Structure 1
Amino acid sequence: MLKNPDPKSDCLERYETLPPALQHREALTLIDPEPTQWITVLRRQGDGKNYSSLKPLLVATAHQDKVLATTDWSINDLGEPSYGTDRDPAFHDGLTSNPDGYDLHFFADALWLPTGTSHPLIEFTPSFRWWLGLVTRPDESMYRINDAGRDEEVVKVHRLQEGEYEVQVSARHLRKYLAARGMSLVVQHSHCRTVDTHQSDRIDLGLHTKVASFDYIAWGDSALGGYVATLTGKHVVLPFAAAGENPDDTNRPEKFQEFIVDVDSSTGEEIRLSCQREDSTYLTPVFFDSDVLTRYRERPSRYLVQRTSVACHGRWSMDIDINDEGLVQVWLGDLGSLPESEREYWLTHNVPPHGGITITRVLRDLAGRWVEDERPDPDRLRRARADLIVAFKDLFGDTLYRPLGASDATDFAALALCTNSTEGQRNQGIITLAIGIVEALDVKVLRQVSGADEQQSLNCLQQLVEKLGGNTSELMGPLRLLQGLRSSGAAHMKGSKFDETLARAGLTSMPPDKQFEEIVDRVTKALQGLTELCRTSRKD
């Protein structure tokens, strides 16, 4: 890659005989104008006579040749806000510089703030963070959430020894950003290695192309105590040919996948239709195994799964239904509204029709009639809990439930039916349900309104139900079942007590997902019954 500036010299041949450490091979591999994976943009390693440094800046692509005219660094005052009354305007924000008649722009740097810190703050120009919507993790890495709701890694920060660092950026995201701004990234290099060797003669080599400008010099230096080799220069990272309207724009026509909608009765072949939104096929039912919802159910902070919908917060949402065979049913036209990459995921769970469309779905979407869905649903349970809180407040003037912690509140708000028949999903659902329905009960309030001398909230609540004339078996039985499953095994190693609790409730013959569905239904009806008891008692 390096070349002789003087064709008559033997510098290149002598360079090839140098120890690997003096050849700066690793630094030379960083010179890539069109990367597609990760690119190192910022580095500080070593000091004195052995170091490696990288520092980036931005320049309009039309001016990149001017930056490459020299191998010297173009640092100037980028990244250094300052105030001086001898200039107009007096304040300089450190984001741009114009030393030679064209603008240089700040991209990234390590800022030593505040004084005395052992690690500098890694900072990027605001437009890079804002355009991509970057989120910073505690380890300083950064990611973005794409239009499908998935995380995409954008920045990696490696802390080495104290004061040393290396920062890498996803080339794909970086080059889209560069295209959007009409700029190139200039990565400035400065590398030095010193070793003991028999070499003493000077070596001068260079690399000067449309995308790189470097000088390599090696010489014996008694003051530095060895043979020194430096590599100094710059290379550019080019933008993509087009930016697109946003970071998720593929710059190509959208692909509309074909989904299974039927099976040919004579051949058994699957019949597929495109999900491109057409009036004639919009309400064609498409079916998926229930595991399609698992990835969403397991990330309650990002997704919300209900019996009638699934949504990625702030990105997309889609109406769904779950039929009697446990399959997820979606209208073909609604699939076309999902991001393309998300449709690819749904396609892997697509199955031939089985079990048909529920009567609720038919009446609501096809007949235009609103009907109450009485099927088990955590969302109905949450509404029942909210109604009970209001009814209890109206009757006693106090609050039945203590506020949930942030994490528990998120889990309870996103609690969904099981999306597979594993015990793990059932157990986690029981834990979340028990925390929100039983453990959050305010025992102090219940003791006060019931007059009970009890420490357990369910005992106090049962005495209150008896006091109001309610049916304790119907209203308390489901809550005690829930708490019994929670305490006998859902959060711990399960044993005979857990199995006995399931057996007493008549749930042993059901698979775990149906067990949880039945528990949700029973607890919902108990909460509704408690609400009605409070309302009736208030009238009396």
Structure 2
Amino acid sequence: MNERSPLEFSDRLEYVANKLGAEPWITVYEFTKGEHEEVSYYCSLARPEVLDRCLANTSWDLLIGHGMPGFSFYGDGRREYHRFGDDDGIEPFVISRDFHGLKPSYLELSEEFRHFHNLYEDRKKGVFIALDDNGDDVEVVRVAPKKIQVRAKYIKEYLAARGMVMLLFFEFDRWSSKTLDELGIEKQNVDQQETNYRYIRWVNMLSGISDPARRTMARMTGKKIVEGSGNPLPSWIRDRDSREYEQFIIDVDEEGNNVYFTCDEEQLANHFGKNPEAPHFLTPVFFSKAVMAKYYNDPAKYRVEDSHLYCGGYWGLRLDNNHRDYVVVYLGDLGRLSQKEQLYWKSFNVVPDGNVSDVAFRRGILGEWAAADEPALAFKASYERFRDSWHNHFGWDLFKPLRTEDEHNWATLHVPASENQKEFDDQVMSLSKVLVERLNERELAKHITVEPNDKGITKFQKYLDGVEFPERQELITFLRNLNGLRSGPAHVRGGKDYQRAATHFNLEEKGLSSAFSDLLVQATALIDKLRSFMVPESEQ
């Protein structure tokens, strides 16, 4: 490329005509300086009826720092309030907040735009995010000190809803140390107007310039119109009516082939005679237990409870997680998930194997009360009842609440779905935290004689000896071996404590998943016995 091209902006001319405002991310603010070019972008919103006036010149219709609320005062004492400084049909999208050097200045994005898309600001990352229909993060705005970019889809939906357009202002400055003659070009001053943009481009020598690198200057400045999307409703409303539904395995045919059917509720039968030839809304669909790993691994976002899964307060799913071998969900309930989430569940879909658990059948079909019997769910229910009963009777907690940084151990406590050693170790760690680490040693010490080397389990053993709990030896042996299992990942799995515990819980013969399930059953039985022994029945 010869030296003439940069000052004639051949690259910028093509960009403004074909790409500016049509990219996935639209730059709405930028002020950067390079070695050979300075780039400036700014923007405003405009009512369609003022566009002819705006394209009548290349001046920016809103300057940085303008567009703030103000008043007009009249000679007769009247005053008029203007939301954006005047009523000329132009309003800011990016607001430059300045405090005259007394406080740091900063950029602010239109509040209405942020509220329209319910954007969350993550200041550490310098982004604004929206939640999609699945509750997943979507970056909408990227903010840097000298540049702001907005995802085009969200701008265009906002413009369509408001019946407005965006004016993208631009200014590019380039320079050369050579004269026009040396560059082989003439002085230029071009004013170009098209349907949706206008710019002026000029090249000239600068007189009286002390910087020899800028003897010749070129500038291209103007504006371009960005229109809203064709639909005035945002996608989060439109998607409700255009949701796609996945098909799941609901049976096998005579040849042993899988039979699939959609989870779209509108195509399913119900108790009121709808679609009588179709599968029922309450058709059970089976999934491997591994489907829950995603939710256990992100307790800050998801919450797994007895018979329910929640994504914060964004969505929930009724499910049967009391089934010993599978997770079971009714076909119609799957249709209430986003398609993205349906696809995730579909990847764990297996051939139906029996029916829902007895607990789910009694609750959902017979309308009866039924306690959870899946080992992890049953343990959690018994543990919480125990803590409440103990505190109400004695006025103190035998098991102290988990520290904030450890609360995920409770939220993610579950029977491992496979023979994965790490998952087993993590679950042992979690169970040990709630049963051993959180023993209230200070309160226990008030009721026993404490020796200098007594630790938590020993103090608890002395307490149980003092109250003559019949199963005290079984409970203490259980806790010591649980702590021994924890020592495996924490220290060396080949250590004596771990090996003794592994033998006690018969890990090799049972396998990790089955052994942990039995471990939870044993823990539940022991704390239930302790509760029955220590707390009067009337207070349980």
Is the 1:38–1:169 contact (alpha carbons within 8 Å) kept by the matching residues of 2? yes
Change (3 A) 1:147 1:114: farther
Q: Tell me the distance in 2 between the aligned counterparts of 1:502 and 1:114.
A: 70
Q: Indicate whether 1:178 and 2:167 are aligned.
A: no
Is the 2:32–2:39 contact (alpha carbons within 8 Å) kept by the matching residues of 1? yes
- Residue in 2 that maps onto 1:39: 26
Q: Indicate whether 1:103 and 2:101 are aligned.
A: no
Q: Indicate whether 1:232 and 2:237 are aligned.
A: no
Is the 1:97–1:103 contact (alpha carbons within 8 Å) kept by the matching residues of 2? no
Change (3 A) 1:174 1:22: same
Question: What residue identity is the alignment partner of 2:372?
Answer: D
Change (3 A) 1:36 1:196: closer
- Residue in 2 that maps onto 1:9: none
Question: What residue identity is the alignment partner of 2:165?
Answer: S
Change (3 A) 1:67 1:83: closer
Corresponding residue SS for 2:39: strand
Residue 413 (structure 1) aligned to one of 406, 411, 418: 411
TM-superposed deviation, 1:270: 1.8
Q: Over residues 215-261 of structure 1, what are the superposed CA-to-partner deviations in whole Å (9 max), with x where a residue is unaligned?
A: 22222224253221212111222211114366353375332222111
Corresponding residue SS for 1:73: coil
- Residue in 2 that maps onto 1:375: 374
Is the 1:24–1:231 contact (alpha carbons within 8 Å) kept by the matching residues of 2? no
Q: Tell me the distance in 2 between the aligned counterparts of 1:171 and 1:513.
A: 48
- Residue in 1 that maps onto 2:118: 133
- Residue in 2 that maps onto 1:273: 261
Is the 1:256–1:340 contact (alpha carbons within 8 Å) kept by the matching residues of 2? yes
Change (3 A) 1:231 1:381: farther
Is the 1:52–1:191 contact (alpha carbons within 8 Å) kept by the matching residues of 2? yes
Q: Tell me the distance in 2 between the aligned counterparts of 1:345 and 1:537.
A: 46
TM-superposed deviation, 1:202: 1.5
TM-superposed deviation, 1:334: 0.8
TM-superposed deviation, 1:145: 2.0
Q: Tell me the distance in 2 between the aligned counterparts of 1:435 and 1:481.
A: 14
Corresponding residue SS for 1:250: helix
Corresponding residue SS for 1:384: helix
- Residue in 2 that maps onto 1:392: 390
- Residue in 2 that maps onto 1:144: 130
**Range moving further from structure 2, 232-241 or 504-513:** 504-513
**Range moving further from structure 2, 210-219 or 64-73:** 64-73
Q: Tell me the distance in 2 between the aligned counterparts of 1:509 and 1:446.
A: 37
Corresponding residue SS for 2:446: helix
- Residue in 1 that maps onto 2:47: 60
TM-superposed deviation, 1:172: 1.7
Corresponding residue SS for 1:529: helix
Is the 1:468–1:533 contact (alpha carbons within 8 Å) kept by the matching residues of 2? no
Question: Equivalent residues in 2 for 1:381-530 (5 A)?
Answer: 381-453=379-451, 455-470=454-469, 471-486=471-486, 488-491=487-490, 494-497=493-496, 498-530=498-530
Question: What residue identity is the alignment partner of 1:275?
Answer: C
Q: Tell me the distance in 2 between the aligned counterparts of 1:460 and 1:508.
A: 31
Residue 140 (structure 2) aligned to one of 154, 159, 180: 154
- RCO comparison, higher one (Cα < 8 Å, 6+): 1
Q: Indicate whether 1:71 and 2:76 are aligned.
A: no
TM-superposed deviation, 1:156: 1.6
Is the 2:481–2:504 contact (alpha carbons within 8 Å) kept by the matching residues of 1? no
Corresponding residue SS for 1:194: strand
Question: What residue identity is the alignment partner of 1:139?
Answer: K
TM-superposed deviation, 1:319: 1.4
- Residue in 2 that maps onto 1:241: 230
Corresponding residue SS for 1:508: helix
Change (3 A) 1:343 1:188: same
TM-superposed deviation, 1:332: 0.6
**Range moving further from structure 2, 335-344 or 396-405:** 396-405
Question: What residue identity is the alignment partner of 1:151?
Answer: D
Question: Equivalent residues in 2 for 1:78-89 (5 A)?
Answer: 81=68, 86=73
Change (3 A) 1:384 1:238: same
Q: Over residues 141-166 of structure 1, what are the superposed CA-to-partner deviations in whole Å (9 max), with x where a residue is unaligned?
A: 1212223121111122235xxxxx22
Is the 1:450–1:461 contact (alpha carbons within 8 Å) kept by the matching residues of 2? no
Change (3 A) 1:63 1:251: farther
**Range moving further from structure 2, 311-320 or 507-516:** 507-516
Corresponding residue SS for 1:400: coil
Q: Over residues 141-197 of structure 1, what are the superposed CA-to-partner deviations in whole Å (9 max), with x where a residue is unaligned?
A: 1212223121111122235xxxxx222111122222222222222221122122223
Matched residue count:
512
Is the 1:325–1:354 contact (alpha carbons within 8 Å) kept by the matching residues of 2? no
TM-superposed deviation, 1:428: 2.5
Instruction: Give the aligned CA root-mean-square deviation in angstroms.
Output: 3.2
TM-superposed deviation, 1:97: 4.3
Is the 2:206–2:217 contact (alpha carbons within 8 Å) kept by the matching residues of 1? yes
Question: What residue identity is the alignment partner of 2:153?
Answer: R
- Residue in 1 that maps onto 2:273: none
The answer for unaligned runs of 5 or more in structure 2 is 271-275
Q: Tell me the distance in 2 between the aligned counterparts of 1:405 and 1:26.
A: 58
Question: What residue identity is the alignment partner of 2:221?
Answer: T
Question: What residue identity is the alignment partner of 1:276?
Answer: D
Is the 2:286–2:349 contact (alpha carbons within 8 Å) kept by the matching residues of 1? yes
Question: What residue identity is the alignment partner of 2:150?
Answer: V
Q: Over residues 291-327 of structure 1, what are the superposed CA-to-partner deviations in whole Å (9 max), with x where a residue is unaligned?
A: 2222211111111123522111111111112476632
Corresponding residue SS for 1:473: helix
- Residue in 2 that maps onto 1:7: none
Q: Tell me the distance in 2 between the aligned counterparts of 1:455 and 1:538.
A: 34
Q: Tell me the distance in 2 between the aligned counterparts of 1:207 and 1:22.
A: 14
Q: TM-score, normalised by structure 2?
A: 0.84
Q: Tell me the distance in 2 between the aligned counterparts of 1:505 and 1:114.
A: 71
Is the 1:465–1:472 contact (alpha carbons within 8 Å) kept by the matching residues of 2? yes
Q: TM-score, normalised by structure 1?
A: 0.84
Question: What residue identity is the alignment partner of 1:166?
Answer: K
- Percent identical: 23
Q: Tell me the distance in 2 between the aligned counterparts of 1:251 and 1:356.
A: 31
- Residue in 2 that maps onto 1:261: 250
- Residue in 2 that maps onto 1:218: 203
Is the 1:395–1:537 contact (alpha carbons within 8 Å) kept by the matching residues of 2? no
- Residue in 2 that maps onto 1:18: 4
Is the 1:36–1:172 contact (alpha carbons within 8 Å) kept by the matching residues of 2? no
Is the 1:391–1:534 contact (alpha carbons within 8 Å) kept by the matching residues of 2? no
**Range moving further from structure 2, 50-59 or 108-117:** 108-117
Q: Tell me the distance in 1 between the aligned counterparts of 2:343 and 2:119.
A: 25
Q: Tell me the distance in 1 between the aligned counterparts of 2:314 and 2:107.
A: 29
Question: What residue identity is the alignment partner of 2:229?
Answer: F
Q: Tell me the distance in 2 between the aligned counterparts of 1:511 and 1:180.
A: 59
Is the 1:303–1:311 contact (alpha carbons within 8 Å) kept by the matching residues of 2? yes
Question: What residue identity is the alignment partner of 2:257?
Answer: E
TM-superposed deviation, 1:330: 0.7
TM-superposed deviation, 1:116: 7.0
**Range moving further from structure 2, 175-184 or 386-395:** 386-395
TM-superposed deviation, 1:444: 1.1
**Range moving further from structure 2, 39-48 or 83-92:** 83-92
Question: What residue identity is the alignment partner of 2:130?
Answer: R
Q: Tell me the distance in 2 between the aligned counterparts of 1:436 and 1:114.
A: 55
Is the 1:135–1:143 contact (alpha carbons within 8 Å) kept by the matching residues of 2? yes
Corresponding residue SS for 1:287: strand
**Range moving further from structure 2, 29-38 or 191-200:** 29-38
